[in-house]
Structures are given as structure tokens and as C-alpha cells.
Structure 1
Amino acid sequence: MTVAPSRSLRSSAELIRAEEPVLAHNYHPLPVVVARAEGAWVEDVEGRRYLDMLAGYSALNFGHRHPALIEAAHRQLDQLTLTSRAFHNDRLAGFAESLAALTGLDMVLPMNTGAEAVESAVKVARKWAYDVKGVPADRATIVVAADNFHGRTTTIVSFSTDESARAGFGPFTPGFRVVPYNDLAALETAIDETTAAVLIEPIQGEAGVVIPDDGYLRGVREVTRRTGCLFIADEIQSGLGRTGRTLAVEHEDVVPDVVLLGKALGGGIVPVSAVVARREVLQVLRPGEHGSTFGGNPLAAAVGSAVVELLETGEFQRRAEEAGVVLRDGLTALVGKGVRSFRARGLWAGVDIDPAIGTGREISESLMREGILVKDTHGSTIRLAPPLTITNEDLTMALGTLEQILRKGA
């Protein structure tokens, strides 16, 4: 990393203590205060460097401050940043056209955050069920998978099975049926004439990078098509190059009716999300039925367009696939040596650590002290999702550091 050393007037410890009385305690971050970043590396306020193996939960697929994305943002900042959707802007049409083409779909509903995209898809699916499928008013249902993570808004936690996300936030929104993930028979049983859509993650990220059996996604596509409901794929974490394909559903040559994108779509610069769908689905929306002041703003559209341009080359998808071999080989060598099991696709892995060695949090803290940043999920599982720009050398170094920590114990 070539950026100049940080010059914070306060130390990491001072800044962490300063957050305590003024920030809501809805996160439990690792005790590192990042001040600067470039590529796959970040630097704290004291100038210590860390390899980022989380990449903002896939929001930083292209690394910190990718030159093409920074240039696009700077250029747009000098022109126009916001009009609201009360007016047209000169960047939005190009962004929507290129994103639809990238995904093989027709129309785009631009939003800001991933949770907004999911909420928007729920509304669109219900409207489609009433207007197109003929479901009686207020009877539409959506089938979802257990152990899902689609965000933390009130409606979304209504169909979460994670009690830490649900407890204390009821009453919950009705209209959802939860079935086991990776179980086609249970999925089909849950579908009836009221079903508007099936909403699933092609790979469950928060659950620990859970990859379904081969054929599951094709089965979901076949069942939804045969029963006359929509297939909504939440690709907010799994999409845009992370798994070695533009979309994770491409591993099974599946085209859903609706794809949800976010995180990496904003290049780690601005929040950008989108519902991308077949024309028949998104055409159910009429003016006044849904909206967002910032959704589709010119700055977001400029950065999103630059992201699409990067992905159109296929370079990042190939890089994730090639580096993913290094990741899988390194983790395979650790099985039985502190790693109980792992699941990986492209540059994304959920690693189950032997609980006798430490919790996921303890392993994450130990790695942090050695200059590697990861994040735990449930129990003794950690997630690895480095920027797609990471070098093989840095990836091998990170795996070697994990091996050392496992050998001596967290």
C-alpha cells in the first residue's frame, strides 16, 4: 500500500472508547480502527497494516479505492450528485441498460441498500401475484429458506430464523412460509395457489457460506416455473464476481425471474442496490407505488456503471475462480489440523474451526493481532471473502497465518 501514514490526533483505543457513549451498540466490531486503505490492504490510525480478508461482506469485491471506480466517482462529483427521481438524470438510463444486459434480464429498479432491494422485491412479488397471477387481495405468500439472511428490517426479520435478529422486534409481518434450505421436496410442498415467489440465496452467506447440492438451483427454477410463481435470487453477497461467475446462479445455468444486487454494485464507494427482473414482473409498478429519493442518483449510477464495465471484461470472475483454487487447496490442507470442515466457492469460504481451539470471535481476534482481518459468524465459524484483487502470495500468507494460530491455539 502506497498511501501516506495516518495522522490521527487520537489513538485506536481512544477512538474506540469515544464511540461507546454516542453510538448505538448494534455491532460488535473487532478492536481495529481503519483510517486508510488501498487494494486488499488497510491501515489503522497508528499506521499498522492489515490484509482485508472480509472485503466489507463482499461490498469491496474490487478492493479498496479501485482506480477506475474512484475516477468515475470523482468525475461525477464535479458534475451532478442528486436530482431525486422527480427528474431524469443523464446517467441512469445507461446504468440500467448495462446492468440488465449483464444479468440477462430486462428492467431495473434502482435502490440503495441490500435490505431495500429485498423489501422492494417483496412488494413487487406481491403486486405481480395480484395483478398477473390473480391471487386474491392480501393473500399472497412468499416461500423462504431457514437460516436465511436478507437484511434486518422489520419485514425481513419476520421471516428470519435467527433469534438474535427477531427477539424483541415483533409483531411480525405475515405472508411468509419458511422451509429448510436445500430441500426441494419441502419447497414444493410449501407452494400453493397463493404463492407469489420463492426467495432464496443461491449461497447462504451469513449462515456460514452454505452451498446447496448440485441441482438444487435448477430444481428451484423448475418448480417455480411449473407452479407459476417467481424465483427471486438474492445475490447481494454472492453476486458480481464473488463466486467465479457474474452471478452464483450461473454455476447451474439458471436465470431467475428476479435478481437482487447490492454491496459490490456500489464499488465500496456509495450504497447502490437494484432489483433486476423480467419486464413482465417490474412493469406491475406504477408511479407513486414505490420510490426512493436517492435510488438511481447520478453518483450511484456513475459508480454502478463503472462496476458493470469492470465485470463485462470477465477478468474479475476469472480471478475469483483461479484464486479460489488457492483458497480451497490451502483450507483442505488445514482440515484435521484445527479446521473441522469448510465450504468454498470462488473467493468465498465458511471455515468451521474446532471449538476446542476457540470461537470464531477468538480466532478473528487472533488473526487481527497478526495483521489479518476476518469476521466470525455463528459459533466457531469464520468467513473469508477477500477482495477479488488479492494476490496469490497474500492469500497464501493469510492461510499460513491461520495455520500458525490453529497450531498454537487462539
Structure 2
Amino acid sequence: MSEIQYRLPQKREIAGEFPGEKSRALADRRSSVIATGVASSVPVYAADVDGGVVVDVDGNSLIDFGSGIAVTTVGGSAPKVVENVKNSVERFTHTCFMVTPYEGYVELAERLVAITPGDHAKKVALFNSGAEAVENAVKIARVATGRDAIVVFDHAYHGRTNVTMAMTAKNMPYKNGFGPFAPEIYRVPVSYPFRDPEGMNGAEAARRALEMVDKQIGADNVAAVVIEPIQGEGGFIVPADGFLPALSEWCTDNGALFVADEVQSGVARTGEWFAVEHEGVVPDLMTIAKGVAGGMPLSAVVGRAELLDAVHGGGLGGTYGGNPVTCAAAIGALDTIEEWDLKSRAKHIEAVIHASLDSLVEGTGVVGEVRGRGAMIALEFVKPGSRDPHPEAAKAVAAECLGKGVIILTCGTYGNIVRLLPPLTITDELLREGLDVLSDAIAAHDR
């Protein structure tokens, strides 16, 4: 394991007014030219990012517990990523792989085949975003099986394109007013241990979902069951042990494909290359994005070779999919994860977070559960004395933390989840400092 390198001081520092003068000026400029529908969680503007800190245009240094929504897993300017991007962009920025191919696309595909679960023959198609990958996984599943129905789950988030909006559970802000949506998408209950009937295990939760599939859709009509192994925007919901294997087994028995949407949970985020590995599940298809390219826009569908090869020539692709610069960045990010042993680092971060925050479940009235894996941990906020969602507390805690220099994101179907997604390169000192700020903010809003 090589020592993690830092370019910026890894410290929290708020200098004067917050947001500062330059951020306020940029906000004024933004208001006249940027669509209102493009919202931002943080009211400051980034100038430099490295390791576990975001430095804004006014010189404030913030602890980053968001990683650009799990994207800057290796940090916002990892040396190997930067070096690869510079070397690539100096040669050419684009040819379109469908016109004039290049080695970087092939090399990255080889790397993804090597790190994804299963020892069967696999193939890869590269795209730009997580939603694009999911939509193409649906296309592949339908062609390969000759079926139409896609099964998804409560609390799911799969993207903002038409098909992936239909697959996404939450209406506001992702779906409201944007219909009609693509047909042949069917939703069933997920395993949500905190909110399921007491004592329900993973096998029972799977049975509940699959009985609905059999009765309401028909197994012979199902092209794919698509699930996030740990649900992201829906609330970092970790299904009960046995739930994912039961779904995978049902797919195998019924000729459907098991598709793991690892857009947010993949690429070392949970302490393994992919979250499905925690239960030994081998998907037929997997979607990858976010953390794979060190901040550059790239996504992939990886799966059984015969499934990807079922699609006719020209049926997959896109002008920018697998751009040479983004492929170079992704190779640099994967190298960084291996050289800095960031999978182990994710497990260490998980231990530090639990040691700091688990006591809040018993010690406060508003934290109902601390859950997650690796550096993908959530706190579910509830109204004291109940399990009723408490989105006001989650929002207030996140705002309090931001005012003290810690970037924290919220999520969840009910808006009551604080999610922690620190870069895997964050120092222990910064991590613990940020967790102390979070704990103090929770104590201040424990009602």
C-alpha cells in the first residue's frame, strides 16, 4: 500500500462571512443564466478540491462528506487521475469509439471485466452517466430475453431519463410533471429492515416481493429484476441478509436477468469493489458510474458476454460514450484504489463512523438507525418516541453542519436521511472532526 498523497492542507477553516463575498457574487450571476430546476445543496462555489477538503472561492476549507454524491471516491484531484487526463488530452480529446476506436476503451473494459464478480466470460459497453447505463441495461435485458417487463423496488432511484424516471420511486423532485413515463415497469416492496414488520428476514421479504411479481406480472414476462444492492437516494437502505440472493436465484430459475445497479454503491465505496460481493451475489448485468472515473463522466454496463452480444451491431453506444479522456481518468482511478488500498480504507472509515455515531441511537430521540457499509453510511431521523420520519431534523442538522464547515447531504423517500459519503482518501483526523461537528449538530436538534 502506497501512502496517500495530498496537495492541499487537510483542515477545516471558515474565514469570515459564510457564504463569502465571491460565492455570493457568483450566486447573483447564476440566478440570471442558470435554470431554476438545476439546484445546488451548498451555497458556496468550489475553487479547489483534494483529499477530504473542498476549498471555496473565498478561501474557506470545508470537510467533504459528500464526494460529489459518491463520485470523488479517490479525492477530487488524485495525482494518477490528473496525470492520466493530462497525458490523454494532449494527444486527442475525441474520435468517437464507434468511428475510430482507441486502446483506452479496450484497456478499461479489460479492467472492469477483471474486478466485477463472476469468473464467466464478460463484456462491456461504456456510456456517460449512471442513468444511461441503467437504460442500456434495460435494452440489453429485453433483447437478450425477448421479454418486456422490468421489476424495480420501492425507494429505488435509477436516474432522470424517461425509462429511469419510470424506474425511480420518488416523485419529487425527480418525476413530478415529467410524465407520461415508459411502460412495462413494475414496482414491488424492497427489504427495509428498519421499517419492515418486526422479525421479517431477507428470505421473507424476498418472498413478499416475488409473490407480487408472480401474481401481478407473471414470471414468464419478466426481462430483468433491477435493484441497487444498497439503495442510494432512497435512503441508503441495506436489505436484510438473504434478500439479494433470493432475488438472484428466482431470476435464474425463471429465465429473467438479475441486474445490480451499482452506480452509487460500486467501485470500492462499501469496502469491496461492488456491494453485491458482501452477499456473494453474481449479477447477470451490472451498471457502474460515479466513482469509476475520479470525477469524469463515464459509466458502464458489464455483464455476461452472451447477453451483451445479443444486441445487434450499432444497437449500443453513443457519441461520447467511453471518451478517451474519461477512460484514461478511470484507469487512473482504479490504479489509485489499488495502490492506496482504498477498499481497506473504506472498511476503516465504516468502523470509525460507527464508533462515533452508533451511540446516538440510544442517546438521542431523533436518530432511529445508523446503517450502511464502508464509506456509505446513513442516519435515519425520526420523531422522538416513534419511527415517523423527521425530515425537518435531517435538514436542520445538515444546515448546521454546513455552517460549521462540513458538507453533508440528505436523501430518502421521506427526506429524513443524512448520508455520509466521504472520499476514501479523507484523513482520520478530518473524519473524526467532521463526525464531532455532526454529533454536536444532532444534539442541538434533538427534538
Provide TM-score, normalisation by structure 2. Answer: 0.85
Q: Paired residue for 1:100? A: 113
Aligned equivalents of 2:337, 2:54: Cα separation in 1: 24
Q: Does 1:87 align with 2:100?
A: yes
Specify the code of the residue in structure 2 equivalent to 1:25: T
3-state DSSP class of the match of 1:163? coil
What's the offset of the Cα at 1:218? 1.2
Q: In structure 2, which of residues 281, 284, 290 is the aligned counterpart of residue 263 of structure 1?
A: 290
Q: Is the 8 A contact 1:244 1:347 kept in 2?
A: yes
Which of 215, 221, 229 lines up with 2:248 in the alignment? 221
2:258 to 231, 234, 246: 231
Residue 146 of structure 1 is matched in structure 2 by 154
Given the two structures, how large is their TM-score scaled by the length of structure 1?
A: 0.92
Q: Could you tell me which residue of structure 2 aligns to residue 180 of structure 1?
A: 189
Listed as ranges, the matches of 1:52-71 within 5 Å are 52-71=64-83
Instruction: Provide, for residues 236-266 of structure 1, a one-character-per-residue CA deviation record: whole Å limited to 9, x for no partner.
Output: 0000011111000000111100110001111
What secondary structure sits across from 2:220 in the alignment? Answer: coil
| Paired amino acid for 2:102 | N
Give the RMSD, CA atoms, in angstroms: 2.1
The question of 1:29 aligning with 2:41 is answered yes
Q: Residues 73-131 of structure 1: CA distance to partner in whole angstroms, max 9, x if unpaired?
A: 1111111221102111121111111111111461000001001001111111111112x
C-alpha displacement of 1:10: 6.4
Secondary structure at the counterpart of residue 237 of structure 1: coil
Alpha-carbon distance in structure 2 between the residues aligned to 1:179 and 1:380: 22
Taking structure 1 as reference, are residues 118 and 349 closer, same or farther at Cα in structure 2, changes over 3 Å only?
A: same
Which whole-Å CA distance do the structure 2 matches of 1:186 and 1:364 have between them?
35
User: Paired residue for 2:406, among 372, 376, 380?
Assistant: 372
For the 8 Å contact 1:51–1:372, the answer to whether it is kept is: yes
Shift of 1:351: 0.9
What's the secondary structure of 2:252's corresponding residue?
Answer: helix
**1:241 lines up with 2:271 in the alignment:** no
Match of 1:382 among 418, 424, 432: 418
Selected match of 1:397 from 433, 443, 447: 433
Q: Which structure 2 segments of 5+ residues have no match? A: 1-5, 192-204, 385-389
Structure 1 contact 12–46 (Cα < 8 Å) conserved: yes
The alpha carbon displacement at 1:307 in A equals 2.2
On the 8 A contact 1:143/1:176 being kept in 2, the answer is yes
C-alpha distance in structure 2 between counterparts of 1:83 and 1:41, whole Å = 35
How far apart in 2 are the matches of 1:380 and 1:147? 13
Structure 2: distance between partners of 1:179 and 1:112: 29
Going from structure 1 to structure 2, the CA distance change for 1:104 and 1:204 (only over 3 Å counts) comes to: closer
Matched, 1:288 2:314: yes
Distance 1:74 1:405, change over 3 A: same
Aligned length: 399
Q: Distance in 2 between matches of 1:295 and 1:305?
A: 15
Give the stretch that moved more between structures: 55-64 or 345-354. Answer: 345-354
Looking at structure 2, the residues matched to 231 and 313 of structure 1 have their Cα atoms a distance apart, in angstroms, of 31
C-alpha change, 1:141 and 1:303, in structure 2 (3 Å) is: same
* Unaligned runs of at least 5 residues, structure 1: none
Q: Does 1:204 align with 2:220?
A: no
**d(CA) in 2 for partners of 1:314 and 1:102?**
16
Contact 2:144 2:307 in 1 (8 A): yes
User: Percent of pairs identical after alignment?
Assistant: 34
Structure 1 residue matching 2:360: 3-state secondary structure:
coil
Please tell me whether the aligned partners of residues 359 and 381 of structure 1 are also in contact (alpha carbons under 8 angstroms).
Answer: no
Query: Does 1:17 pair with 2:2?
Result: no
1:163 maps to 2:171: yes
**Counterpart-to-counterpart distance in 1, 2:55 and 2:150:** 44
Does residue 117 (structure 1) correspond to residue 133 (structure 2)? The answer is: yes
Assess, with a 3 A threshold, how the Cα gap between structure 1 residues 99 and 178 changes in structure 2: closer, same or farther: same
Match of 1:279 in 2: 305
Q: Judge conservation of contact 2:260–2:287 (CA < 8 Å) in 1.
A: yes
Query: Does the Cα contact within 8 Å between 2:125 and 2:302 map onto a contact in 1?
Result: yes
Indicate if the aligned counterparts of 2:357 and 2:439 stay in contact, CA closer than 8 A.
Answer: no
Residue from 358, 368, 380 that aligns with 1:352: 380
Query: For 1:271-350, what aligned pairs fall within 5 Å after superposition?
Result: 271-312=297-338, 315-335=341-361, 336-337=363-364, 338-350=366-378
SS in 2 for 1:20: helix
